[in-house]
Copies of this chain bind each other. A is one copy, B any other.
């Protein structure tokens, strides 16, 4: 019964039953731990929660980043797919861009430390950085282009830069009332609308 879901979603047949079971267990455990202790939680904590050894976790997910990607794959996909549909449904390309960034920001701020991990230059989080950007930059680019063509915003801003900027703005201790990433992202988008002023 070879289901035909999106590539990479299916738990990979041709594997032993216990391996498939463990992979699922690990994903659930990781998701739970990420909620409790943030994305930066020790691998050992996830292994313990799942009731498996360290070797097991590393065989299924060669690095932390692979695990994080696997856990959030669905949500990233949803965000990517929301781009074109928002462009079709929203009042204007600019409105679509705004709504889409809201989606993206919501996603980032609800995962403790995910935005941090996305930019972290040390440890092997490169996979994470790469996956997010590869998947979402084209979507963002499409929205950006549409808004430029509609005359809603000034040209000259690259999707990659904008995405990383937004991601960076979402970094920080959760729930500090004095720092609301959403406000700053809104400001950034407003800056995009503005015609350059020399004053």
List residues of chain A with CB under 8 Å of any chain B CB: 40, 92, 94-95, 113, 116, 119-122, 152, 157-158, 160-162, 164-165, 168-169, 171-173, 178-180, 183-184, 186-194, 196-197, 199
Contact = CB atoms under 8 A, between A and B. Distances in A.
A92 B198 CA distance: 12
A168 B183 CA distance: 14
Contacts of A95: 199
A157 B183 CA distance: 9
A180 B40 CA distance: 27
A64 to B, nearest CB: 14
A40 B120 CA distance: 11
A160 B178 CA distance: 7
Contacts of A188: 184, 187-188, 191
A184 B160 contact: no
Contacts of A162: 184
Sort A-B residue pairs by CB-CB distance and give the 4 closest, nearest first. A191-B191, A190-B191, A187-B191, A165-B184
A113 to B, nearest CB: 6
| Residue among A94, A119, A165, A169 with max Cβ neighbours from chain B (10 Å) | A165
Contact of A193 (B158, B172, B194): B194
Given A121-B172, A161-B184, 14 more contacts: A116-B119, A116-B120, A152-B199, A157-B183, A157-B187, A161-B179, A161-B183, A162-B184, A165-B169, A165-B179, A169-B169, A187-B192, A193-B194, A193-B197
